[in-house]
Amino acid sequence: IALIVIFQEEIRGFFYRIGARFNMEQIKDRWSKIKHKKNSRQQADAIMTACVHMSASKTGALIVITKEQELKAFADTGEMVDAALSTRLIENIFFKNTPLHDGALIIHNGRIWSAACILPVSKRTDLPKRYGLRHRAAIGLTEKTDAMAIVVSEETGKISVAKGEDIHTVTQEELKSYLLQVFGA
């Protein structure tokens, strides 16, 4: 009891700091989550809209979205962009005859990180012959990393998603669902 009486100011200050920090952390976390969800939805919509537009015009594209692994070695093979994610920029990068349209676009932390990147091609022999180099590169990368790759076929205009060793054609709604999962919205 004597220690409590002697150190009452310090004890009161200690509990005050804990209480103030806890409340501020809660408010900050809630605000951060709301802001993150809004940004995540905008980023997912930007990618989805660009893919739908490129699909309609049969513009080939390979978009890689990083997760935990950074993929710096692959990003360094292309041109560093470091730009905000937008539909028009993605479409412009993959527009035919532009300098960055060949290769992959890598998106890291919700930003366009690098374009015209060279990816490893899958060595699997069981892949269908209809898969071109973009599809094989998407599978090659996702076999080795935790990234997700989106492929827009130049020949058919179909949109495919590669995760792990799997790749499959998706609808617009399925693509949006995948993107929302990746961005955590």
Average pLDDT of the residues in 24-36: 55
**SS3 of 82, please?**
strand
Please give the model's pTM, rounded to 2 decimal places.
0.79
Indicate if the pLDDT at residue 134 is higher than 60: yes
Distances (CA, A) of 178 to 146, 151, 160: 14, 13, 11
What average pLDDT score do residues 154-163 get? 95
The answer to whether residue 124 scores a pLDDT higher than 70 is yes
The least confident of 21-30, 44-53, 109-118 is 21-30
155 band by pLDDT with thresholds 50, 70 and 90: very high
**pLDDT value of residue 45:** 93
pLDDT (mean) for 30-50: 76
Q: Measured between alpha carbons, how far is 180 from 38 in angstroms, rounded to an integer?
A: 11
Alpha helices (H) along 60-101 = 72-75, 87-93
| Residue closest to 94 by CA, chosen among 140, 69, 59, 118 | 59
